[in-house]
Structure 1
Amino acid sequence: MNNLRRELELLLLLTENKDYSVQMLADRLDITRRQLYYDLENLRACGFKLVKTNTKYRLDRHSPFFKRLHENIALTEEEAMMVYRLLDRLPHTDYLSKSIQSKLERFFNLELLTDVGQRRQAESNAAVLREAIQLRRVVILKNYSSPHSRTVSDRMVEPFLFLNAEMDIRCFEINSHTNKTFKTSRAASVEMTDVEWLNEQSHKSIFTDLFMFSGEERLPVELKLGRLAHSILLEEYPAAEAYITPANTPNHWIFASEVASYLGIGRFVLGLYHDIDVLGSAQFAAYINEKVKAMNQKVTL
């Protein structure tokens, strides 16, 4: 086995959902342990991140190589949804298109409407909403079915932002004077009016933070992370890497971002309080202090 082929085989083994010991890897590749250590060092030199647990090795899928590869060939969820919808227009006897749709559903875990009629109604509604956004017009969501209030009624709104691959629409509702997110499939139809937007200054898009909490408000936070907190943050929330920079002290990092709620990041900080310093935001520091006081009261009772 030549060197290139052997190193490619090693890459494949290390990316399987298994942990291999040095001896196991050497046996699989039919090489000595010394040669294997040499190959592992080559991988590290090329930017691959090796994770060692006790005596077992695996390759970190967040290595720069895999991130670049994923960015170049992968579809985003919105792109996947668009492909899915285009395939949905083909005849139902087209088995190839149905096979591709099944793979898209599994791989992207798409939130899909199972009823074809509902999907087409949602697409029809989205077409009117797209035009309304372009023309900055008020629309009426006819016979909108709300699962929260368990009512069916007309909603007069100013639509301004699609979400979730056009399955949701962010609107300013005129009667309640609030921003709400509506499902495009829950309106029997959408009627565009001649009335132009009057409340654009009140339009607020929804924001989803790294910890999967959503809201209109953006709350700045800044943390100083130790090695453990840094590793766990990246393991549980890989997208956090874009908001992390090295700190001035060795083995420490600065995480600076915005969150929609203190709930998600608060749980993270409280769980690793010994390895995290709260910087910057007095409001977030006060939130953490209140949580600590509440926990102390429970412990002393």
Structure 2
Amino acid sequence: MRLEKFGNELELLLLLTDNNNYTAQQLADRLHVTRRNLYYYLDYLRNSGFQVIKTGAYYRLDPNSKFFRRLHDNIVFTKEEAAYLRRMLEASNKKDIILATLKTKLDRYYSLEGSFSPAALKRIHNNVRTLKEAMETQSVVVLRGYSSPHSKTVSDRVVEPYLLMNDDLDVRCYEMQSDMCKTFKVSRIKSVEVMDVFWMNQAKHSDLFTDIFMFSGDEKLPVKLRLGQLAYNLLLEEYPQSHPFLAPEKDEKHWIFKADVASYLGIGRFVLGLFQDIEVLQDQRFKQYIAGCVEQMSQKVSGFRPVRPTNNEP
């Protein structure tokens, strides 16, 4: 199929997403078509899953359209991935315009500017070095000024550090106060102070479980899904390591996925994105999690009349 066949549709997509306001006549003029033909193109976009919004006389595309969400998930880095790439660029000895441009784009788009200033890099380097020394001597340390995004507090944490992970971005520790093993971001530690005290809780140093969606945690959460052909294909394409956890049903049209996950975030995003082709079989907690996500989405789109999906949607 030649790209030229959809030239006007592609051009219309660009116009409706370039942050400018266009009336129907202005769009028709830019495409060199009649207004009647323009309305055909707009209907084509609607039928293809795009949400065309008209505000007064002006048209635009809703960035929350399913196509854009799937495109975003496929091509945009997570903040952790962007930070990892930024660290690799910082470690490079090359000095050229392209390298500097990439650093600037990552810093601006993912708000990494403060994380890679010379002072921040020196602080992180010192923290990693001190943590490694403490682990070698099995010493207790104080994580001074640790900034927690969950509790929104800055506090000192007395811990037994025993594992650096993710290219030294995270440190796994046993925390005295909570009597739990936790993962701390090295970049959120102001400084590390080694105490003249040796580990006393080594038996409690637990290994971290990482699931096929690359989420890590202490708890293993069982899930069981019934997948259609589309969900089966996409799961294998996006997560090849899922293959051992898949078993075909007798009808040869469905597959059972059964595995443990560390978090419902990864598996939940996959299920919600392909809900028409997936049936959640187990367990009850995961069903409640999905139901809660659906309820939140329903609240965000309240007031809109439901539309039956067309055949060209999965």
TM class, shorter-length: 0.5 to 0.7
Q: Contact between 1:245 and 1:254, CA under 8 Å: does it hold in 2?
A: yes
Q: Which stretches in structure 2 are left out of the alignment for 5+ residues?
A: 6-47, 49-80, 299-314
State the distance in 2 between where 1:152 and 1:293 align.
Answer: 31
Identity of aligned residues (%): 39
Q: Which stretches in structure 1 are left out of the alignment for 5+ residues?
A: 1-19, 25-53, 55-75
- Paired position in structure 2 for 1:100: 99
State the distance in 2 between where 1:151 and 1:23 align.
Answer: 56
Give CA deviations for 1:273-295 in whole Å, capped at 9, x if unaligned.
6644556x5xx156527966998
CA RMSD of aligned residues (A): 4.5
1:216 pairs with 2:212:
no
Evaluate the alpha carbon distance shift between residue 111 and residue 160 of structure 1 in structure 2; reply closer, same or farther with a 3 A threshold: farther
1:84 corresponds to which letter in structure 2? L
Q: Contact between 1:243 and 1:257, CA under 8 Å: does it hold in 2?
A: no
1:171 corresponds to which letter in structure 2? C
State the distance in 1 between where 2:119 and 2:188 align.
Answer: 12
- Paired position in structure 2 for 1:139: 141
Alpha-carbon shift at residue 131 of structure 1 (Å) = 2.2
1:86 pairs with 2:91:
yes
Alpha-carbon shift at residue 232 of structure 1 (Å) = 4.6
State the distance in 1 between where 2:290 and 2:219 align.
Answer: 21
Give CA deviations for 1:13-72 in whole Å, capped at 9, x if unaligned.
xxxxxxx44998xxxxxxxxxxxxxxxxxxxxxxxxxxxxx9xxxxxxxxxxxxxxxxxx
Q: Contact between 1:278 and 1:285, CA under 8 Å: does it hold in 2?
A: no
- Paired position in structure 1 for 2:31: none
State the distance in 1 between where 2:285 and 2:150 align.
Answer: 33
Evaluate the alpha carbon distance shift between residue 104 and residue 216 of structure 1 in structure 2; reply closer, same or farther with a 3 A threshold: farther
State the distance in 2 between where 1:146 and 1:203 align.
Answer: 21
2:95 corresponds to which letter in structure 1? Y
Evaluate the alpha carbon distance shift between residue 102 and residue 123 of structure 1 in structure 2; reply closer, same or farther with a 3 A threshold: farther
Give CA deviations for 1:1-20 in whole Å, capped at 9, x if unaligned.
xxxxxxxxxxxxxxxxxxx4
1:195 corresponds to which letter in structure 2? V
1:198 corresponds to which letter in structure 2? M
Evaluate the alpha carbon distance shift between residue 228 and residue 190 of structure 1 in structure 2; reply closer, same or farther with a 3 A threshold: same
Matched residue count: 218
Q: Contact between 1:78 and 1:165, CA under 8 Å: does it hold in 2?
A: no
Alpha-carbon shift at residue 217 of structure 1 (Å) = 0.8
